[in-house]
Amino acid sequence: MEWIVSKGKKELKIQLKNPDVLFESWKIQYIYSIQNESINRIQSLPVTAIGKKKITCIINDDNLQISVVLTNEEGHIAIKYTIDNLSEENLILDKIITSIGRFSIPKTENYHVFKNGYQSWSLTRSYSFDEKEMASWLPCMNILQDNPRNLPSGQQGSFNSTMFTAIGSEHSSFCVIGQGRPFNLYVYINAFTNNNIIHLDFIHDFCNMIVSPSLKIRADLIYLITNKNINEAFDWYFALTRSQTPLRRKLIKGWCSWYYYYTKIDEKSIYHNLDVLKSKAKRFDVFQIDDGYQTAVGDWLSINNKFPGGLAPIARKVRTMGMIPGIWLAPFIASRKSMLYQHHPDWFLHDSDGKPVNAGWNPNWDIFGYFYALDTTHPEFQEYIKGVINTFVHEWGFGYLKLDFVYAASLCGKAYDMTLTSAQRLKLGYTLIRDVAGDRVFILGCGAPLSASIGHVDGMRIGPDVAPYWMARYRYYITRDPHALCTKFAIRSILNRSQMHRYLWLNDPDCIMLRQTETKLSKEERMTLINAVIITGGMYFISDNLSLLKNEDWKLIESIDELIKICSLEKSYPVDIMECEMPEIIYNTGGYIAFFNFSNSSKKKIVQLKGLLKQIISPTSKLIDVWGNREIYVYSDHIDLGELKPHDSILCKIK
C-alpha cells in the first residue's frame, strides 16, 4: 500500500493511495488517575521519526509515555501502541483515544458507515450519514444488549462501532478500520460529522486497569485497509484477525429446546423429542437442553423438580442415539434468588457503592428478574465454575456447552484483580472453562463480546434471538430498543456478519423453526429465515416440538442439510451491505445467490447487474429457483425476479 506522509507544525497527515483515503489532524487523548488525581489531556500526535514504511510518534507525560508506531505493510497500515508507566505509583488507566480531525475519500459524496455491534445481540448494520443511531431509553436494555461504555449519542451523523467499522461509497472506495490482536481490550471506532467533515475516534478502553510502576503494556493494534470492493476489504480484515486456534471443519447441526418450550422445558418433553427422532430414524449432531432445568440462574448443579431423574441419564440417552448432548448455562451471572448470590456476595463485580454490578433483567426468570455479574478473577469463583464444568462434562457427559450472557464478565466494576482489563476478564473466564472441558468439547458463545471471544469459542451467535414472530413492534417502539429480539432483526445480523464465518469461528445464526402451528411467522417469513441460514452457511439448529413437524418438514430438513453442506465450506458476500440496513442480495461462492424483500408490501423485484453481480452473473447465466424449481430471467443488464410478497425471498442456483 502506498502512502504520502506530511508533518506540519500541529498535525500529521497521511494519504493512502490506490484507492485514495485521507487522514488529517491526528490527536491523542489519554485519561487516567494517579494518587486520586484524575488526568485528562489532549495533544496533537508528535512525530519523532518518519521513514519510508514507518512513522514513530512518542508522547511524554509526567507519569506515562505513549508510543504510537504506524507501519506500511502489505495491503494495510498497522498502528501499534505501547504504554509505559514512568511513575513510582500505580496508575489507573481508563481510555486512550486517537482522534482523526478529518477523514475523507476523494470524489465521494454519499458516505455510508458500517456499524458492528459490541456483542452477539447488538445491532449491526450500515447507515448513511443523514441517519441517527439510537439507544434504548431503558438502562437495563443497554446493559443487556449494548455496551454502556460506548452508547450511541442519538445525534444525526454520529455512529459508534466496536472492533471494526467501514466507511465509503460504492461509487468510489471503502476504508475498513479495525482492531487487531491480542484482543486484550475493547476498541471502539466512532465516526461523526461536523459541518460535513467526518471525524474519527479510535478508543482503547482499559476500563480502569491498574498499571504498576515501570510496567510497559502493548495495546491492541489498529488496522487501516482500503479497497474499492467492500467484501474484499472485509475478507482482508478477517484474514488478519482470524482465530489462531484451529477451527472445526465439520459444521454443527442440532436440536435446541428453547424456541418451543422456553423455560417450561421438562424431562418428559426431552424424552418425547428423543422418541420422535427414534421413530423417524433421524438424528442430529447435537441435542441441546436450554434454559429451564436449574433451580436458579447461577446454581447450575441444583436441578429443579421438572427433571426428577437428573441430567446425566438424559446425556447418556442422547449419546446412545449417536448425538452429542448439549447444555445451556450462563457461567458469569447469577440471579439474586440464587444460593450463589446469597452466600457469596464477594464473588461478584462491585460498583463504586460496593453493590453487585447489575448485569441486566430477564422476565423469564421472574418479574423481578435482575441478575448480577460475577468476577472471573476471584479465586473462589474460579474454583466454583471449574467444578460446574467438570460435573457437566466429565461426570454427566455433556459435550456441547452453550455459554450465554457472557458479556457480564466484561462489565466495568471493581474486581478482585484490577490489573486485568474488562476484555481480559472475559478471556480468563473462557480459559477456565476450556481448561476443564478440554478441546473435544464444542463451546458456543452467546451474548458474547466479539473481539475477546476470538480463539476461545468454536461457534459464535452472531445476532439477537429469533422468535416465532417477525417483528417485536411494542418492544421496538415503546422501549426504543434497536436490538429487539425478533426474526427480522436476527436475519439483519445473520446477513451483515456473514463474512466472519470460518475466519473467526463457525457462525451461529440461531435456530430455525419449521412448525406451521403455534407460530406467528408466515410461510414466507419461515422460508426467509431458512434461506438466510442456508446462503450464509453457518451452523443450524431446529427448535420445534418435533412431533408437530409434518412429513414435508422432514423432507425440507434433508434439503437444508444438502444446501448448507455446500454453502458452509464457501464464502458468503452481502453484495449491498453498505447500501441498506438489511442486505437484499447475498452471494455464496458455492454457486448460490439469495434475494430478499424485507419491506412490508409486495414488490416487483428488478435487480441491476452491477459491481460484484456483473462478475458472477452474465446474460447467459441461468438462475434456478431452488424451492420453486423455475428459471429466473436474466437480461443484459438486470434480473427480473417477478413479484415478491412481504418478507419473502428467493434462493437460486447459478448455472
Q: What is the pLDDT of residue 625?
A: 97
Query: Tens of pLDDT along 588-629?
Result: 999 999 999 999 999 999 999 988 899 999 888 999 999 998
In this structure, is residue 158 part of a structural domain?
yes
Rounded to 5 degrees, what angle do the CA atoms 122, 131, 494 make? 30
Residue 18 pLDDT greater than 80, yes or no: no
Position 224 in a domain: yes
Report the chain's terminal Cα–Cα distance, integer Å. Answer: 37
Q: Identify whether 38 is part of a domain.
A: yes
Please say which residue of 541, 572, 603 terminates a domain.
572
Q: Three-state DSSP class for 111?
A: coil
In this structure, the chain runs to a length of 655
> Which pLDDT belongs to residue 330?
99
Q: What pLDDT, in 10s, does the model give residues 527-553?
A: 999 999 999 999 999 999 999 999 999
Cis peptide before 19 (omega within 30 of 0): yes
Does the pLDDT of residue 196 top 90, yes or no? no
- Say yes or no: 507 and 382 in one domain: yes
CATH of the domain at 59: 2.70.98.10
CA atoms within 13 Å, Cβ hemisphere of 486: 17
Residue 568 has pLDDT above 90, yes or no: yes
In this prediction, residues 178-192 reach a mean pLDDT of: 98
**Residues with Cβ < 8 Å from 106, sequence gap 6 or more?**
20, 22, 172
Do residues 207 and 260 share a domain?
no
9 and 132 in a common domain: yes
Question: pLDDT tier at 457 (50, 70, 90 boundaries)?
Answer: very high
Residues 214 and 283 in one domain: no
Rounded Cα–Cα distance for residues 389 and 386 (Å) = 5
- Kindly report the average pLDDT of the chain as a whole number: 95
Write the CATH number for 272.
Answer: 3.20.20.70
Checking if the pLDDT of 326 tops 60, the result is yes
Q: By C-alpha distance, which of 597, 459, 469 is closest to 521?
A: 469
Could you tell me the pLDDT band of residue 8, with boundaries at 50, 70 and 90? low
Q: Are 138 and 146 in contact (CB under 8 A)?
A: no
Domain that holds residue 471: 253-331+378-572
> pLDDT by residue (tens digit) across 469-502?
999 887 777 888 888 899 999 999 999 999 999 9
Residue bearing the bigger pLDDT, 8 or 542 = 542
User: Binning pLDDT at 50, 70 and 90, where does residue 144 land?
Assistant: very high
Question: Domain for residue 481, yes or no?
Answer: yes
Give the model's pLDDT for residue 170: 85
Closest CA to 357 of 365, 347, 343: 347
Predicted confidence band of residue 4 (pLDDT cuts 50, 70, 90): confident
- Residues 221 and 280 both lie in one domain: no
Q: Are residues 649 and 532 in the same domain?
A: no
Domain assignment present for residue 258? The answer is: yes
Do 459 and 594 share a domain, yes or no? no
Among 117, 139, 138, which residue's Cα sits nearest to residue 127? 117
- 347 belongs to a structural domain: no
Pairing type for strands 400-403 and 442-445 reads parallel
Assessment of whether the complete model's pTM goes beyond 0.85? yes
Within this chain, do residues 616 and 548 fall inside the same structural domain, yes or no? no
| Buried-state track 170-180, b at ≥16 Cβ within 10 A, e below 16 | bebbbbbbbbb
Residue 498 has what DSSP assignment?
A: G
For residue 645, tell me if it sits in a domain: yes
CA atoms of 166 and 103, how far apart (whole Å): 12
**Whether residue 613 sits in one domain with residue 491:** no
The pLDDT tens digits of the residues spanning 79-118 come to 999 999 999 999 999 999 999 999 998 877 789 999 999 9
Q: Supply the CATH number for residue 619's domain.
A: 2.60.40.1180
Please check whether residue 346 lies inside any domain of the structure: no
**Owner of C-alpha cell 484474514:** 239
Instruction: For residues 187-205, give the mean pLDDT.
Output: 95
Q: Are residues 63 and 184 in the same domain?
A: yes
Q: Are residues 184 and 302 in the same domain?
A: no
User: Is 204 found in the same domain as 294?
Assistant: no
The three three-digit cell numbers of residue 120, written as one number: 452477539
For 358-391, write each residue's pLDDT tens digit.
999 998 898 888 999 999 999 999 999 999 999 9
State the pLDDT at residue 9: 55
Instruction: Output the pLDDT for position 10.
Output: 55
Indicate whether 288 pLDDT > 80: yes
Question: How high is the pLDDT of residue 106?
Answer: 80
User: How many distinct structural domains can be found in the chain?
Assistant: 3
User: What one-character DSSP code corresponds to residue 252?
Assistant: P
Last residue within a domain, chosen from 172, 207, 240: 240
Last residue of a domain, one of 572, 605, 620: 572
Give me the pLDDT at residue 51, please.
86
Does pLDDT of 12 surpass 90?
no
The predicted-structure confidence for 19-48, as pLDDT tens digits, reads as follows 889 999 999 999 999 999 999 999 999 888
